[in-house]
Amino acid sequence: MAYGFRPVQMAGSRYNPGGFVEVPINADNITVDIFNGECVTYTSAKGIDRLTDSVSNAETTAGVFIGARWATAGGDQKWGQFYDGATGNTEAYAFVVPVRDVIFRVQSDAAWGAAQRGTTVNTTGTSGSTSTGNSDLQADVGTTTSNPPITVVGVIGDGENENSSNPDILVRFVDGCIQDVLG
């Protein structure tokens, strides 16, 4: 089962404030669910917006969503692995891992081949699960387009995963697809 992007390693020697930042969720899209592991973009005047499920080179990714806090229409404070978008929510904030210099673990949509290391690929998915809170984004290693957003770094090797039909692979975002406003 897919789970979206999960941060596993930070490259370089930059300051690390725990791996994520808190950013307001765009009030214009406050009714939109955002699932753990999905890509988000940042608009300076509005806040975080969920990107489409299949992230392409036409979109810039500010980070990967890992949770949220918000107030319901009734004033109850909520925290969750996914943001439960609803009419009347207020004070909505996303917890976001900026993508620059971070290696992410993501499920591949096809079997692993060593020749995939260093290739750039798109993502694929349709939504997420309100029971687990996880996104269903996967690396789309079977489709080739120009300027895709992620580069395959390697595979999680444990003797079984790399031989499965949908292995967990390691990826990083391509520089041209990264939005630096959070980092």
Of 4, 181, 26, 15, which Cα lies nearest the Cα of 98? 181
- pTM higher than 0.95 for the full model? no
Domain ranges of the chain: 14-98, 102-176
Average pLDDT for 136-141: 88
φ, ψ for residue 84, nearest 5 deg = -90, 85
Q: What per-residue confidence (pLDDT) applies to 157?
A: 83
Instruction: Check if the beta carbon of residue 112 is closer than 8 Å to that of residue 166.
Output: no
Average pLDDT for 155-171: 87
Q: What is the pLDDT of residues 7-49, one digit of tens each?
A: 887 766 555 555 788 999 988 888 999 999 998 888 766 788 8
